[in-house]
Each structure stands twice: as C-alpha cells, then as structure tokens.
Amino acid sequence: MFFSWVPLTFFHSLAIVNHQYFMVNINLSIQHRCKALEILRSFPNPVSANILAGELGISRVALWKMVRKLRELAYPIHTGREGYQLAADQDPDLLCPWELGAFGLRTEWFPETSSTMEEAKNRFSRRSQSLQRKEPTAPAQEPFYTVAETQTAGRGRFHRSWESLRGGIYLTVTLFRRVPLAIVGRYPLLAGVVWVETLQELFPTFSKGPTPHPITLKWPNDILMGNRKIGGILLDMEVEGDTATRIDLGIGFNVRNHPKDPKAAALIDLIGPSLPPRRMILQAYLHRLERALVDPYLKSAIPRWKRFSSTLGKPVRILFPASRAAGLSTLTGTAVDIGPGGELVVRSSDGSLKVVSYGDCHHRR
C-alpha cells in the first residue's frame, strides 16, 4: 500500500476553505429568511411560491424547506393554493439573527440558555488571540452579539441573579480591542447612555405629558424609568497587564416581560399595545451603539452620561458587598462628579472627596 506525504499546511488550508464555505451558507440562510419575512410582513394577502422563490433567488423546494424551518421556530406561516401568508397577529417577535438585519450576521441566538455572558465566553474562547487589536487607536473590530430569548441563570453585578423572563432583551456585546484599564469603566456607562438616547428617539413623549416617565441613569449600571429599574449593564473583560483585551457588556432590558420585582418596570407596562416589536427596538439600539463605539477611548461617554444622571447632586449611601461581611462601614455623602474611568466622586460630611470604583449606590431621601 502506498501513502503519499501531504503537508500539514494542506489540511489547515482545507479547514479554512470548509469554514468559509460553511459561513457563506449560514449568511445566505440568514439573508433569505430575513428577506422572506420582510416580504410576508409587507403583504396582508398570500404571496405565491413562484414570486417568493423568485425574489429570494432560490428554488421552490428550497423555499419549502426554509418555511418548514421557520414554522418549527413558531412563525405562523400558512400555506394554501394562493401561496404563503404570515399571520401578523401571531408573530412570535423573536430576536433571531435574521430578525436583526446586518447585525444578524454577527449574532448567535439561543431560544434559552443559562447566560448570554457565559455563552459569549464559550463562543470566543479559542478565537480571542486572532481577534484582538494590537493598538487601541486601530480601526475597531465590529462587535459580536450573543442573544437569548430567556436565561435560566442570568446574573447582575456581584453575582446576583437577573430575572430573565421571555419577552425581555438579553444580550452580550463582545468587543476585541486593547483598552487601558483606567478607562474601561466608560464602556458600561456608554451602553446605558445609548439605551436612553434610543428610547428618547423611539418614544419622544416619555418625559412629557400629564404623567411623564423620565428615563435616567443611576450609577453605576441601572437604567431607570421614573423610580423603577427597566434595565442594567454588566461589565466583564479579559486583561493583560494594565490593558483590557476583550470587553463583554451583558445587557438585560425589560420590554414585554413582566418582572416580579415591584421596583422594576417594563416598556409594555408604560406604552401598552402600541409598543413596537422587540426586533425593531434592538436594531435601533445596536445602530446607535456601533456608531458610539467607533472611538475606543469613548471620550464622549462621561459628559453624555452626566446629561441623564439621576445620581449626581443627590445624597447617596454606598454599600460594599465584600466589606459588609467584614463589618466595615459604608460611605455616605453627596454624589458630585464622575471620574475619567467612570468612578463616582462623593463628597463626605467632612468635605473630603472620595472616589468610588465599585459598590451599591443607594439614593437617600
């Protein structure tokens, strides 16, 4: 028997080609589903199979297979002699990649998972080195997104649980870039700012009318509507020396879910049935977020955050979870400023300024 010698580089090249072919097929599948749903949502009447397949550039057999997959995901697509029709009043409003436009090509979606943050870590654990930028001022890598319809072990700061019922937005934004640790705290602040700006754009009457619901930011990571929490941001990262090489922003936002906590709120409670689909809200958010992330130093994050702050100028009490077990005292004073890295500056009763990098901030009355 004769064995010919084949260099290892051949197998490496073959693996790359196979991976690229696989990714092209995945992207085409996403684009076909996206366009098919767009067409079906645009017409109240059935769309013939010939027209739909022609618009997508695929065969009728491929169209039938695609529709079958969409039905398995709970899309109410009905088939009749006249063609395919989507029941608008039963639209599942999912956050699948094909529902997120161009962002979907960088999105991994789970109907249910323990935590999008953990899924993001698993997703990129072997790719981190190849995706990292050497210089913070280099053109920023586009973010990657990990999305779930519901989480069974969602978490907030200090490993607290985050209620993740179906109908909310549960998202991890992953960035591969080298950022000095001294300023990485700007990232969760900016993520909160972009939520406020997005909601103000989508719902301009929030802060007006007889019963206004101002949207504000509470240090360090809460998004408030009135006095009720509607969302939060969690920061995680990989570090080399004094530099973050990968940044994960875990985001939980209440949209159509109904949180059990009386101190929490959801958009559906405030807007009612006219609330647009979650996919539209998330696309609007990601569009603003990607524009804001072009500058890796996020020089505008602090002044923008101050515009929406509900913390600055208020009496506050800072609790340090790790210190309470040791019987250490808390910090009380007045929040007067935000430091260059996102720290809270508190003026204590003796007039001295304390810089707080982490902790639970409670507004005192």
pLDDT in tens, 263-278: 899 999 888 888 999 9
Angle of helix 60-72 relative to helix 8-42, nearest 10 degrees?
Answer: 80
Name the 3-class secondary structure at 19. Answer: helix
Task: Give the pLDDT confidence score for residue 328 in this predicted structure.
Answer: 54
More confident residue, 157 or 49: 49
DSSP 8-state code for residue 309: B
SS3 call for 35: helix
Please report, for residues 192, 314, 331, the alpha-carbon distance to residue 345 in angstroms, rounded to integers and kept in the order given: 19, 12, 11
Percentage of residues in the chain having pLDDT higher than 90? 65
Which domains are seen in the chain, by residue range? 8-90 (1.10.10.10), 97-307 (3.30.930.10), 315-363 (2.30.30.100)
Tell me how far CA of residue 213 lies from CA of 140, 224, 266, in angstroms.
35, 9, 12
Task: List phi, psi (to 5°) of 232.
Answer: -155, 160
pTM for this predicted structure? 0.86
| Residue 322's pLDDT band (cuts 50, 70, 90) | low
Cβ atoms of 251 and 169 closer than 8 Å: yes
What is the predicted pLDDT for the residue at 16? 37
Give the pLDDT of residue 139: 43
CB neighbourhood size of 109 (10 A): 20
| CA angle centred on 175, ends 12 and 251, rounded to 5° | 130
Q: What is the pLDDT of residues 205-260, one digit of tens each?
A: 766 655 666 889 999 999 998 889 999 999 999 999 999 999 999 999 999 998 88
- Write out the DSSP string of 315-336: EEEEE-HHHHTTTPPPEEEEEE
